[in-house]
Structure 1
Amino acid sequence: MSDVKNTVSKARSPRKGDAAGSVSPARARQFHETEQRMKALSAPTLADVLRLAPDDDRMAKIRSVLGVEGGDPDELTGLGDSAVRDQYEALRPILVSQYRGEDDFRGIKMHLDRIVDALVRSAYGAANFFESRRQIAKDAKDKWNNQHRDEDRLGVDGRENRSDVLVRIAAEHGAKAYALACMASGACAAYAELLGEAWEPYQSRANRRTLTEEAAAVLDDAIGI
Structure 2
Amino acid sequence: MSDGKNTIAQKSAPRKGDAAGKASPEQVRRFQEAQARKAAMEAPTLKAAKDIVPNESRVAQFVSHFAIETADTDELIGTGDAIVRDQFNILYPVLVNQIRGDDNLTALKMHLDRIVDALVRSAIGAANFYETRRQIARDARDQFANEHRDQDRMGVDGGENQVVKLARIAAVNGVKAYSVTCVAEGACRAYAELMGEEWKAYQKTRSKQPVDEKATAAMLDALGI
TM-score range (shorter-chain normalised) is 0.7 to 0.9
Shift of 1:43: 3.4
Query: Does the 8 Å CA contact 1:49/1:124 hold for their aligned counterparts?
Result: yes
Aligned twin of 2:65: 65
Aligned twin of 1:117: 117
- Secondary structure (helix, strand or coil) at the match of 2:160 reads coil
- Secondary structure (helix, strand or coil) at the match of 1:70 reads coil
User: How far apart are the structure 2 equivalents of 1:145 and 1:36?
Assistant: 29
Shift of 1:25: 5.6
Query: Does the 8 Å CA contact 1:70/1:178 hold for their aligned counterparts?
Result: no
Question: Structure 2: 5+ residue runs without aligned partners?
Answer: 1-17, 210-225
- Number of residues of Structure 1 aligned to a counterpart in Structure 2: 192
Q: Deviations over 1:74-117 (max 9, x none)?
A: 10100000000111111111212111221111111000001111
Aligned twin of 2:141: 141
User: How far apart are the structure 1 equivalents of 2:196 and 2:37?
Assistant: 29
Aligned twin of 1:106: 106
Shift of 1:29: 3.9
Aligned twin of 1:159: 159
Highest CA radius of gyration, 1 or 2? 2
Deviates more, 1:131-140 or 1:90-99: 90-99
2:126 counterpart of 1:126: yes
User: How far apart are the structure 1 equivalents of 2:173 and 2:73?
Assistant: 16
- Secondary structure (helix, strand or coil) at the match of 1:143 reads helix
Deviates more, 1:174-183 or 1:144-153: 144-153
User: How far apart are the structure 2 equivalents of 1:161 and 1:60?
Assistant: 23
Shift of 1:52: 1.7
- Secondary structure (helix, strand or coil) at the match of 1:60 reads helix
- RMSD between aligned alpha carbons? 2.6
User: How far apart are the structure 2 equivalents of 1:97 and 1:35?
Assistant: 42
Question: Structure 1: 5+ residue runs without aligned partners?
Answer: 1-11, 16-20, 211-225
User: How far apart are the structure 2 equivalents of 1:52 and 1:209?
Assistant: 33
Aligned twin of 1:181: 181
Q: Deviations over 1:5-56 (max 9, x none)?
A: xxxxxxx8662xxxxx6x7665554444233212012332111111222211
User: How far apart are the structure 2 equivalents of 1:62 and 1:205?
Assistant: 42
